[in-house]
Amino acid sequence: MTDKPKNPHGRLSRRDMLKTTWAVLGGLAFLELGAISLAYMQPRLAEGEFGGLITAGKVSDFPNGSMTHIANGRFYLARLADGGFLALYQRCTHLGCSVPWDQDAGQLICPCHSSSFSVEGDVLNPPAPRPLDLFTVSIADDLVQVDTGQPIQRTAFSPDQVVYA
């Protein structure tokens, strides 16, 4: 076995230079791919979008006894007859289908298996096992704000879930 001959001038050989260049470029490509992967996996919580705090509008924008779909928040804002607010998650508690509001029936009716829910989100017609989930509602400076970060599971409607202006 022979030793590799030393470069008499103390400089890198062309082969060593190419190896070093390819190793550096490969390392940079690997780091860039890792950074892109991490950025892709991060949640995108922008204000005014699902998963964050959403300003639904002024209190006066919602008449008593109304149901308003807030599409970017994936919820219905119910203004009850007594003036209280509930934010009902639009996802059915049976299989997770989107539940539309049926104005004629005055109910939220799931198109998948016909579960229906009252204005308060209580189950009127199974197979849904429990009421619709809620989001936290707050009222500040005459604005209705809903935190869609964490749905609140419940077993029944109770008056303490209602928020008043």
Tens of pLDDT, residue by residue over 88-118, are: 999 999 989 999 999 999 999 999 999 999 9
pLDDT at 7: 61
44 in Cβ contact with 72 (< 8 Å): no
- Nearest 5°: the CA angle 108, 110, 116 is 50
Is 8 strand, coil or helix?
coil
155 in Cβ contact with 130 (< 8 Å): yes
pLDDT at 3: 61
| pLDDT tens digits along 73-84 | 899 999 999 999
